[in-house]
A and B are shown apart, each in its own frame.
Chain A
């Protein structure tokens, strides 16, 4: 049996780690789909219709699995974190409700038209639907990140005791909703979603281009994959450098507003000046290797690097150590390594983008087998970067569920038993593993099947007549 607090935390962690994949897919695909639709309508080239249809299918599957997993997440606040929901409901519930009404509704209703309605509605309404779907996915992120960023840098509220419970009362909605963390989180998240999808597209396209140009296989619709690769590379070239730029500003913001999280990211235990930026670090004792809170570290670092990062340019700046906080440190090793993996991946993506751009400029984009292999190998790394990024954010803020206001362990439902929590935890691990396996299987099949053939595209006019006839009866 797992105790209810640990089980609830694990359960929530699993739910979010799996769920985030699908919104990232939707948010990242959205701008591509809008572009494909626009080009399809403007140029009437079958290539763009293929692109739109192929990636829409992947969008639709991601949307369904995202809805299923997201619904669970919404209800988990009530089932597992009832004390948190009672305390913070006045502030936290509003954004969730508004996400549903403002964003999710827009996305879900127009997705119906976008997936099924190409030959049913006018070009104008169809274009509008693709924009509505995209806007819906991005607005969802606005409200969800408002809720999350408020927990990181809470503003605009009072805490009062009501019926024996500590309750958060909203006093200044603008300060609460547009709290200091929100813009950093939103920009970093949206850019990473587009970047992840660009990497995914590039990896998939590289696979077909590689087989065709390097191995000499005859690949149907090779122009489709060549175009996909080029579009993905352009997107990567824009998003990858940006991600590191605002990531740097974000880290500085964290060091100002959540110094305990920043100390965990750098594994700084004692307050010190001129703190080095460790590239890697290991416990000096071998049996401490698996202890996430271990302290005696052996590391290789850049002198003054962490101080330089935290202060924005001063290698001698002071960094507050974890020992100086009254609350227990988060599992430092997890945060430390997750942060390093994220940063390393961020730089790798920039390298990939420039490498691709260089080859493209020289007209060798389809000939460099090493580049194709690198792209294929990196196709899922964008998602890995998003996951470790969220681990830094969420594990790093522990023990707080609302920074400085409420601890995570105090937020768990008081009546929850170990048996219930363990039972559902087991259910989650099984269910979510199956769900993820199924998703990977289905997306894999869609990719192997490739784009719809061009013969099947020319049916639109025919079925248009068909539906006109039906409408009149």
Chain B
């Protein structure tokens, strides 16, 4: 056996690694929801645009969405790597829901690529609708899935889950509209802003309703709700909502985009707080129960602390290269 010294027995730097990986898992989910979230939002708004503007929407997300979606792959991989028992239980329990998510994501992934392949009306109508359907269904199903995960529910359709799904869809529209604020100009940007403001109001209303319904229907979660952090996060959400609307009205699009990102991460933090200390409430698995043993955990921590900053660096290069609006429709060919 290779000598790996204290790596095999002692947690790295004496850190509480299970909790750290729980936080990391939600950070990765947050990155996915924020980055691919604006792709979904753009996909939903795709339904409202004319042909020329549709091209612009596709050009706006074109260079980014492949990379954005990889955060979901990394999320799945991280859950598998750090909490394999939770990964296995959760995904096999929500068997059909997982396949629905994959189908919706597949449709969303294929549609923009296919849309560009031919320019006859029928083909574009079909793939345009597929893009809208995939972009709406994916965040809805993900919201449903995450809420069921927190509730520890074995049934697919739960009232809090459905409400959470709708909430997440409105959030992606908020996000997508903010992104279009940066990437477009003129009437397209004005329209997107209008949708963004309406979406952010809906988001706040839906989020509050979802929380109330969850509180009322899930007694097991009540103690988590009483954490002061939850109150703070809800208040922050309210403030950010107002901030988003104000920033959009004043045409301060970078600020609007930053508030949209903050809204996403606030939601993800709220979900994490509601779930903790469990990683899978249905089986009673806590974060500490489900974590892998010290040696692989330490190795994963070392690898990730090198790789994650690198990955964020790649994204910085990509977003910097494609900064500024897409005036010309500049697809690859």
Contacts and interface: CB of A to CB of B under 8 A. Distances in A.
B40 to A, nearest CB: 15
B223 interface: no
Contacts, number: 245
Interface string A63-89: 111011011101101111011011011
A281 interface: no
Contacts of B327: 466, 470
Interface string B11-39: 00000000000000000000000000000
A112 interface: yes
A366 to B, nearest CB: 28
Contacts of A287: none
B63 interface: yes
A431 interface: yes
Contacts of B304: 101
Interface in B87-142: 87-93, 95-96, 98-99, 102-103, 105-106, 109-110, 113-114, 117-118
Nearest to A431: B103
A116 interface: yes
A78 B96 CA distance: 12
Interface string A431-473: 1000100100010010000001000100000010011001101
A172 B2 contact: yes
A31 interface: no
B72 A71 contact: yes
Given A79-B98, A463-B328, A101 B92 contact: no
A432 to B, nearest CB: 10
Contacts of B117: 442, 445
Given A78-B80, A89-B292, A53 B332 contact: yes
Given A61-B113, A78-B87, A97-B78, A427 B103 contact: yes
Contacts of B87: 77-78, 85, 89, 93
Contacts of A438: 110, 114
B196 to A, nearest CB: 22
Contacts of A72: 102, 106
Interface string A398-432: 00000000000000011110001001100100010
B2 A104 contact: no
A90 B321 contact: no
Interface string A123-141: 0010000001000000000
Which size class do A's interface residues fall under? 35 or more
A71 B102 CA distance: 8
A174 interface: yes
Contacts of B69: 67, 108
B81 A89 contact: yes
Given A93-B87, A98-B303, A463-B328, A174 B67 contact: no
A97 B300 contact: yes
B293 A90 contact: yes
Interface string B305-325: 001100100110110011111
Contacts of A112: 62-64, 66-67, 318, 322
A292 to B, nearest CB: 29
A165 B315 CA distance: 40
A136 to B, nearest CB: 10
B296 interface: yes
Nearest to A88: B84
Nearest to A423: B96
Contacts of A74: 73, 76-77, 80
B180 to A, nearest CB: 16
A175 B99 contact: no
A36 interface: no
A64 B109 contact: yes
Interface in B201-216: none
A112 B112 CA distance: 14
B318 A85 contact: no
Contacts of B258: none
Given A94-B296, A109-B317, A82 B89 contact: yes
A102 interface: yes
A113 interface: yes
B270 interface: no
B252 to A, nearest CB: 16
B157 interface: no
A416 B95 contact: yes
Contacts of B96: 420, 423-424
Contact of B311 (A79, A92, A101, A427): A101
B50 interface: no
B74 A101 contact: yes
B300 A94 contact: yes
A410 to B, nearest CB: 13
B90 A78 contact: yes
B80 A93 contact: yes
A100 B70 contact: yes
Given A171-B1, A171-B295, A116 B63 contact: yes
A420 B73 CA distance: 24
A298 B272 CA distance: 64
Contacts of A89: 80-81, 84-85, 87-88, 292
Given A117-B322, A442-B114, A170 B296 contact: yes
Q: 6 closest A-B pairs (Cβ-Cβ)?
A: A89-B84, A78-B91, A97-B77, A93-B80, A112-B63, A93-B81
16 contacts: A53-B332, A61-B113, A64-B66, A78-B88, A82-B88, A90-B293, A97-B74, A102-B307, A104-B70, A109-B67, A116-B331, A119-B330, A170-B292, A427-B103, A438-B110, A445-B117
Interface of B: 1-2, 4, 8, 62-64, 66-67, 69-70, 72-74, 76-78, 80-82, 84-85, 87-93, 95-96, 98-99, 102-103, 105-106, 109-110, 113-114, 117-118, 292-293, 295-296, 299-300, 303-304, 307-308, 311, 314-315, 317-318, 321-325, 327-328, 330-333
Given A75-B102, A110-B314, 16 more contacts: A65-B110, A67-B69, A67-B73, A74-B76, A79-B95, A93-B87, A96-B81, A100-B76, A101-B307, A108-B70, A111-B66, A112-B66, A113-B322, A116-B332, A120-B322, A473-B324
